[in-house]
Structure 1
């Protein structure tokens, strides 16, 4: 009997979180859309999730695990503002994912949910593709770094951003162009 009531309680918390998420803070826009993100504030007891201190890191660990498993078809990435005890979650819009992560946020932790239109898996594949083509860019610009950013783009560090931006975006096509940020990066050095 206790197991059944715990399931009902969990379902009620998830449902209540989904309603609060939609009605309290509004909706977020696609990456770069300019609208405010959806925000929920944790209500679970502090320490209810396993993991390290402070509680924002336990919430991040939970979100990352869920994003990389059950919700990998919508998860883009996450970042943290430790001082503000805030987790920023980037994902393709998903009410189920939003309700899940908000229902598991501990008291005092804010979760800001941002819309994107790309998953972490696709960003990883794009970063790998650009890196694998390193010799393709020879004699045009020097590719110094490439990696996915959790907010929905791939960061590319080069010696000549103006040239590289045009060449890379043309080579990868219109959809990927909006997911690429080309910036100047000094030459690599040993620390």
Structure 2
């Protein structure tokens, strides 16, 4: 997820990798939100022998060479490669040893992921209709306009959510929501979700 800071000229830093989780704590959606959401999950349970996948590299996350993290590393490779045109995002449920994969429906991608899942790992596949590449492009456009709305509302955060939309944090969702969705065309109208976030304060 990308976030915009409050310092002048800040554009935020991308948090990349399969283990980047989007935390929207303390936020509330604006009332006329009609953005896209992921469809119900299709579930597959791993059958591949434990240890048959390569261990996760340091770019994926903690050095946790477990079946779940090996599957996450494999999904990350697929998402950056041949399936980047359908991949939307990923979240991790460590308690249930599960990966939630959001993607534009693709039999080939689904079969590849499910076929690679090791025993003990559950993969939940969710339908979306936008790719991570498309969502990040919208995030970049909004980020470049960080100060465009000064005096009308305060733009405080923006990031791509793995479930298939762009999260925008502002001080006044009722005012900002219609303006932002209109400003970024049909794609913005469908995929922007506006929430209230508090002003960041220095510790």
Report the TM range for the smaller structure's normalisation.
0.7 to 0.9
Matches within 5 A, 1:22-33: 32=37
- Give the TM-score, by structure 2 length: 0.75
Q: Which runs of 5+ in 1 are unaligned?
A: 1-30
Q: Which runs of 5+ in 2 are unaligned?
A: 1-35, 56-63
Larger relative contact order (Cα-Cα within 8 Å, sequence gap ≥ 6): 2
Shift of 1:53: 2.9
- Give the TM-score, by structure 1 length: 0.80
Partner in structure 1 of residue 51 of structure 2: 47
Shift of 1:174: 2.9
Residue range with higher mean Cα deviation, 44-53 or 107-116? 44-53
Matches within 5 A, 1:109-148: 109-148=121-160
Deviations along 1:45-76, one digit per CA (max 9) or x if unpaired, are 11111223332111111111101111001000
Deviations along 1:99-132, one digit per CA (max 9) or x if unpaired, are 0000000101110111111110111100010010
**C-alpha distance in structure 2 between counterparts of 1:106 and 1:189, whole Å:** 44
Deviations along 1:22-54, one digit per CA (max 9) or x if unpaired, are xxxxxxxxx536x53111000111111122333
Matches within 5 A, 1:151-162: 151-162=163-174
Structure label with greater radius of gyration: 1
Q: Give the number of equivalent residue pairs.
A: 160
- Structural RMSD (CA): 1.3
Shift of 1:147: 0.7
**C-alpha distance in structure 2 between counterparts of 1:164 and 1:187, whole Å:** 15
1:36 matched to 2:40:
yes
**C-alpha distance in structure 2 between counterparts of 1:160 and 1:89, whole Å:** 32
**C-alpha distance in structure 1 between counterparts of 2:54 and 2:93, whole Å:** 20
8 Å Cα contact 2:180/2:188 also seen in 1: no
Partner in structure 2 of residue 7 of structure 1: none
1:66 to 53, 56, 78: 78
**C-alpha distance in structure 1 between counterparts of 2:187 and 2:136, whole Å:** 15
**C-alpha distance in structure 1 between counterparts of 2:199 and 2:92, whole Å:** 28
Shift of 1:190: 2.6
